[in-house]
Amino acid sequence: MTRAILQVMIRGRVQGVGYRAWVEYQASASGLEGWVRNRRDGSVEALFAGAPTRVAEMVALCRHGPPSSRVDDVTSETADEDDLNLRRAGEAFSVLPTV
């Protein structure tokens, strides 16, 4: 099975609105691995790994976000296993500290 790994940056009103928890829930429900974290510049960064169609669907969901958010821009780039290893040991999907 082919596996896709994408690193995603989400900009807009995406902090203080439950965006990370929403991403964690959506990614876990989709069977994806990865992580999500806030960035000091006000954006949210996430990494999704799994079946290419599921990863693409998750990126599409990120363009809308939870109801209280406002997403202005979503960019993505290919990542690798080293980036995936930032998640906490034993967790399929992690919410990481702000960077």
38 part of the active site: yes
> Of 3, 11, 13, 38, which is the active-site residue?
38
40 part of the active site: no
| Distances in whole angstroms, Cα of residue 42 to Cα of each of 27, 85, 87, 90 | 21, 23, 21, 28
Q: What does DSSP assign to residue 26?
A: H
Alpha carbon 58 to its chain centroid, in Å, reads 8
Geometric angle at alpha carbon 92, from 87 and 93, rounded to 5°: 60
> Of 3, 13, 20, 37, which is the active-site residue?
20
Q: Give the catalytic positions in this structure.
A: 20, 38
